[in-house]
Structure 1
Amino acid sequence: MSDGRETDTASEGSYQLSRPKKSPSSLTNLSSSSSMTPLSSVSGSVMSVYSGDFGNLEVKGNIQFAIDYVDSLKELHVFVAQCKDLAAADVKKQRSDPYVKTYLLPDKGKMGKKKTLVVKKTLNPVYNEILRYKIEKQILKTQKLNLSVWHRDTFKRNSFLGEVELDLETWDWDNKQNKQLKWYPLKRKTAPVALEAENRGEMKLALQYVPEPIPGKKLPTTGEVHIWVKECLDLPQLRGSHLNSFVKCIILPDTSRKSRQKTRAVGKTTSPVFNHTMVYDGFRPEDLTEACVELTVWDHYKLTNQFLGGLRIGFGTGKSYGTEVDWMDSTSEEVALWEKMVKSPNTWIEATLPLRMLLIAKISK
């Protein structure tokens, strides 16, 4: 690095996207020949880890289920039997198309989600399905089981019908009665506000914008954004303290795989030190007002990656190159860091920011 600072690792990439026609110039790819991601495809490829409509339907009824841990398989089995007296999504015909979804909290990511089939046109669906989680028992005892009931309409939109949550830390696994089917009343969701406020830890990082001088020109036409991921603090204990965490980075709206960079994984700690610098070149000054740095923290466990939390650092305007986008949603702290970086080129701007749940952009090929 030009500032003489020693880091464990470093990686480089180029910021690229297809801009609207009103912006005729294009970024020069200085380090790779990434494929371009059309801006129009970005907002359509953004998914929420909380997909659904909360609060529009009455919460009523009950769900019958049982849980058991099978030591020989090292699996949690959730036997979802049935529901009764659910709220009617179709008030006129007094029916819903319900299904049951389960999570092991605090993980609310796609990898931790299990669900039953949809049973159509009924308020009293019968499932008789077993949902299985491969998990060590000592890790299971640090978590909560969340079961929620949803109506799925013809257009695959989901409406919340109620939920039940069990604290597995205090669950008596040796009590045979706890392995029997029981009825539980469905409750209203206290989230998503409460889930958003969950403590997901913090990230220590620093940003720097480095303009690239061009011979014969007074002002640089492009520059580099340097992202120094120092460490994370107090990450969620999905598996006790046995996390194997790493950080991914993309610069939105470019979601091409070649634009993705990541740190190495650091194991067996909830406060991993990465000390990794990522460099993205090809930034014009005007791109700094339209782009957004998305940093996400993940736990790698066996063949899956579970989302822990993230940051989205930009101006938080809700728009990019004139198009409304979900991902331009930076918090005031994230905006403040980006503003300081833009106003102070060639200077490291440091911050410690709280991690949060995000609408996660899918990586295009």
Structure 2
Amino acid sequence: MSDDRETDSASESSYQLGRHKKSPSSLTNLSSSSGMTSLSSVSGSAMSVYSGDFGNLEIKGSIQFAIDYVDTLMEFHVFVAQCKDLAAADVKKQRSDPYVKTYLLPDKGKMGKKKTFVMKKTLNPVYNEILRYKIDKQSLKNQKLNLSVWHRDTFKRNSFLGEVELDLETWDWDNKQNKQLKWYPLNRRTAPVALEAENRGEMKLALQYVPEPFSGKKLATTGEVHIWVKECIDLPHLRGSHLNSFVKCTILPDTSRKSRQKTRAVGKTTNPIFNHTMVYDGFRPGDLKEACVELTVWDHHKLTNQFLGGLRIGFGTGKSYGTEVDWMDSTPAEISLWERMVNSPNTWIEDILPLRMLLIAKLTK
């Protein structure tokens, strides 16, 4: 059987996808420098629980599944049996191409996500698949199981068909009836609202705009933006092991690799101190109105990186160089820091900002 699984995970290398790469700006040629060696390339995953189209299709139908913890294997099993009476993504032909996706929350990264195969042209798909998680039972009791049903079209776009969420902390694992297959009605989107309310910690940082940096060359006037990542405070501890966090920075709309800089990883603390300065040049005065500093915090592991929270610091206008973009969504506190930096050139402007969930744009070619 061919693997027709949906592929919507957002790795660090693809985290910028969906943003506009072309702009009439010198920012497309940003150069960057840093006082520290960047981390080696790692493949992380983040926030795909938020990706896709919500609210476009009617939520109806139900799903049959069972869960169990196998002590001998130290594995959590989700047996996805079937769905019935799903909404039709293709209204004319009354059919969908559904698959089931599961997450262990609040771990929304690659380690916490599993998927079934896509079943074609049906509103009553039968899967009979076991989705397995290698996790100790005590850690599992701090999780929630989010199980969602999606339609995937021929262009690999995903449409939400409903979800079910189980609180594993209150689950009776000794009740044999809880190990049997049960039907659950599919519900409207609820998980992102609950996750958004989580405390994701804070970042202490300072910004400085240098309009005319010292240079012996006679070039067109472009300035620099300096970003001093000082520390993070009360980061969420989402896994059983110690945090090993680092911060990544990108200046949007530039999505090229040379726009990305990282701090070193700081381990075994929820209050890491980085004291890392990143410098981006090529800023004309007008670019400050169109650009956005994106800072994201990650928990670094050997196999995957867990997204912890982020900031987008800019004017938050929703547009960049006349084009509507989803990443120009700065909060009032983030806007305030950017405005103070722009209005006070050659001066470090410091603040402590709450980290938040960042919605990821879908892949566009």
Q: How high is the TM-score relative to the length of structure 1?
A: 0.79
**Aligned residue for 2:166?**
166
Q: Is the 8 A contact 1:204 1:353 kept in 2?
A: yes
Alignment of 1:78-227 (within 5 A): 78-110=78-110, 112-190=112-190, 192-211=192-211, 212-213=213-214, 221-227=221-227
Deviation at 1:334, TM superposition (A): 1.0
Deviation at 1:150, TM superposition (A): 1.4
Q: Within 2, Cα distance between the matches of 1:242 and 1:30?
A: 31
Q: Within 2, Cα distance between the matches of 1:99 and 1:80?
A: 10
> What is the CA deviation profile of residues 105-143 of structure 1, one whole-angstrom value per residue up to 9, with x for unaligned ones?
113345532211111222221101122223333322221
> What is the CA deviation profile of residues 332-363 of structure 1, one whole-angstrom value per residue up to 9, with x for unaligned ones?
21111111011112222112212222244799
Deviation at 1:216, TM superposition (A): 10
Alignment of 1:333-352 (within 5 A): 333-352=333-352
Runs of at least 5 residues in structure 2 that lack an aligned partner in the other structure:
1-20, 35-46
SS of 1:229's partner is strand
Q: Within 2, Cα distance between the matches of 1:173 and 1:98?
A: 29
> What is the CA deviation profile of residues 55-79 of structure 1, one whole-angstrom value per residue up to 9, with x for unaligned ones?
2333222211122233444432221
For residue 169 of structure 2, what is the amino acid of its counterpart?
A: E
Alignment of 1:255-270 (within 5 A): 255-270=255-270
> What is the CA deviation profile of residues 195-218 of structure 1, one whole-angstrom value per residue up to 9, with x for unaligned ones?
43433222221111223145799x
Q: Is the 8 A contact 2:28 2:253 kept in 1?
A: no
**Aligned residue for 1:39?**
none
Q: Which region of structure 1 is more displaced relative to structure 2, 140-149 or 260-269? A: 260-269
Q: Is the 8 A contact 1:255 1:361 kept in 2?
A: no
For residue 203 of structure 2, what is the amino acid of its counterpart?
A: M
SS of 1:335's partner is helix
**Aligned residue for 1:307?**
307
Q: Is the 8 A contact 1:209 1:346 kept in 2?
A: yes
Q: Within 1, Cα distance between the matches of 2:60 and 2:217?
A: 72
Q: Within 2, Cα distance between the matches of 1:110 and 1:284?
A: 39
Q: Is the 8 A contact 1:204 1:232 kept in 2?
A: yes
The alignment covers a number of residue pairs equal to 330
Q: How high is the TM-score relative to the length of structure 2?
A: 0.79
For residue 80 of structure 2, what is the amino acid of its counterpart?
A: V
**Aligned residue for 1:324?**
324
Q: Is the 8 A contact 2:100 2:150 kept in 1?
A: yes
Q: Is the 8 A contact 2:201 2:236 kept in 1?
A: yes
Q: Which region of structure 1 is more displaced relative to structure 2, 226-235 or 95-104? A: 226-235
Q: Is the 8 A contact 1:48 1:358 kept in 2?
A: no
SS of 1:347's partner is coil
For residue 271 of structure 2, what is the amino acid of its counterpart?
A: S
**Aligned residue for 1:355?**
355
SS of 1:340's partner is helix
> What is the CA deviation profile of residues 231-258 of structure 1, one whole-angstrom value per residue up to 9, with x for unaligned ones?
2233333215732221111111222223
Q: Structure 2 vs 1, CA of residues 139 and 231 (structure 1 numbering), >3 Å: closer, same or farther? A: farther
Q: Within 2, Cα distance between the matches of 1:101 and 1:164?
A: 11
**Aligned residue for 1:7?**
none
Deviation at 1:30, TM superposition (A): 7.7
Q: Structure 2 vs 1, CA of residues 72 and 280 (structure 1 numbering), >3 Å: closer, same or farther? A: farther
SS of 1:131's partner is strand
Q: Structure 2 vs 1, CA of residues 57 and 300 (structure 1 numbering), >3 Å: closer, same or farther? A: same
Deviation at 1:284, TM superposition (A): 2.7
Q: CA RMSD in A?
A: 3.1
Q: Is the 8 A contact 2:33 2:278 kept in 1?
A: no
Q: Structure 2 vs 1, CA of residues 140 and 302 (structure 1 numbering), >3 Å: closer, same or farther? A: farther
Q: Which region of structure 1 is more displaced relative to structure 2, 84-93 or 345-354? A: 84-93
Q: Is the 8 A contact 1:246 1:297 kept in 2?
A: yes
Q: Is the 8 A contact 1:80 1:129 kept in 2?
A: yes
Q: Within 1, Cα distance between the matches of 2:232 and 2:102?
A: 28
> What is the CA deviation profile of residues 162-182 of structure 1, one whole-angstrom value per residue up to 9, with x for unaligned ones?
111111222233433333322
SS of 1:238's partner is coil
Runs of at least 5 residues in structure 1 that lack an aligned partner in the other structure:
1-16, 33-46
Q: Structure 2 vs 1, CA of residues 260 and 231 (structure 1 numbering), >3 Å: closer, same or farther? A: same
